[in-house]
Amino acid sequence: MSKPDLIYSSHPMLALRYLEWVAIERLYAKPENLMMYKLYEEYSDIKPDWQQKFIGLQKKVKREEERGYKTREAWIVELLPDIGTAITSLDEFYQRVEAELKPKLRDKTLTQKKAQISRKDYQKQELGSAYIDNSELISAVKKACIVLAEDQANNAEIKEVITVLENDYCAEPLSDEKRDTLLNVIVYPYLKSLGRSGRIENALLNNKKKLAYFLLGHIKRKCKTDDTITLPIAQIKEWCGGDAKTAKNTLTTLVEYEAIELIAKGKRGQHSRQAAIYRLLI
């Protein structure tokens, strides 16, 4: 059996190169009683540089979490403890990494487009044949995720529950494409958001952002994770009190803490007034 390739050895994120090194070490080298430095002698001199970048990223993620922010590359750090526990094979590792590396649309025009068309139609366009048109299954899976998050379930337990739900709610087994969508597009991101929710709420309270915490509670009662909501200033004033400036600052705080994101700006005008649209991220 030939050794695995270091797929990310030239990736611009050095911390990801180190993560892959650890994955191969834990999931291939150690079970085979092999030494990484002998398997990959050509990388032995630069591997410490990768490790230092990873350690630097760990410190950055911790600092940002204490401030209530989420570093874009935090998933690299969060994935490390799962290797060898929740993630038990290199195939699973690469699936999780590729799901994180998949480009996320951030362009303003595309963001507005997402707001203009229904969420369902947008997902159909993005996923194609991998789209799951089964609202009962999705609803049951999201409810199960809440329990799985509370129980801190491992990957094997997560997959076992999802398999049971698939059998209960699907007339025929899902294709590999659709099962990948279920796990990597719905289950894992939703479980991650459930964990983020508690961290963000605690950060708001610790930093004395009580109005933002209060507003977030109202928003979460009105919609679910990834849903959009219209937030007129008048509505925020009714919920939280204060003036228009306070309401705008409170919204800005929730955006900065990555609890919500702005999808479409509001419009002023006597006949064309329109409130801003936001998406709940946690």
The string of pLDDT tens digits covering residues 105-120 is 444 455 555 555 556 6
- C-alpha dihedral, 95 to 97 to 98 to 104, nearest 10°: 130
| Local structure of 277: helix, strand or coil | strand
| CB atoms near residue 141 (< 10 Å) | 22
* Domains annotated on the chain, with CATH: 14-101 (no CATH), 105-206 (no CATH), 208-282 (1.10.10.10)
**Paired strand residues for 229:** 278
End-to-end alpha carbon distance in the chain:
43
**pTM of full prediction above 0.75:** no
Q: Is the pLDDT of residue 194 over 90?
A: no
pLDDT of residue 127: 82
Backbone CA torsion sign across 195, 198, 202, 204 = positive
pLDDT of residue 27: 94
pLDDT of residue 49: 92
- In whole angstroms, give the CA distance from residue 48 to residue 54: 10
Provide mean pLDDT across the span 57-75. 83
| Local structure of 66: helix, strand or coil | helix
Report the range out of 21-25, 105-109, 133-137, 227-231 with the highest average pLDDT. 21-25
Q: Is the pLDDT of residue 74 over 80?
A: yes
Q: Both tokens of residue 42?
A: 């050509």
- In whole angstroms, give the CA distance from residue 97 to residue 11: 12
Q: Is the pLDDT of residue 29 over 80?
A: yes
pLDDT above 90 covers a percentage of the chain that reads 37
Provide mean pLDDT across the span 185-196. 81
Task: List, for residues 131-186, the tens digit of each pLDDT value.
Answer: 888 889 998 998 898 888 877 788 888 999 999 999 999 989 999 999 988 988 88
pLDDT of residue 108: 47
- In whole angstroms, give the CA distance from residue 147 to residue 205: 25
pLDDT of residue 107: 47
| Local structure of 14: helix, strand or coil | helix
pLDDT of residue 212: 92
Q: Which residue has the higher pLDDT, 208 or 125?
A: 208
CA 197 to centroid of chain Cα atoms: 11
Q: Which residue has the higher pLDDT, 68 or 153?
A: 153
Q: Both tokens of residue 143?
A: 């409810």
Residue 249: band (very low, low, confident or very high) from pLDDT cuts 50, 70, 90? very high
- In whole angstroms, give the CA distance from residue 214 to residue 216: 5
| Local structure of 269: helix, strand or coil | coil
Q: Which residue has the higher pLDDT, 68 or 20?
A: 20
Gyration radius of the chain's alpha carbons: 22
pLDDT of residue 114: 53
Q: Is the pLDDT of residue 63 over 50?
A: yes
pLDDT of residue 115: 54
CB-CB contact of 225 with 235 (8 Å): no
Residue 173 burial (10 A CB sphere; 0-12, 13-18, 19+) = exposed
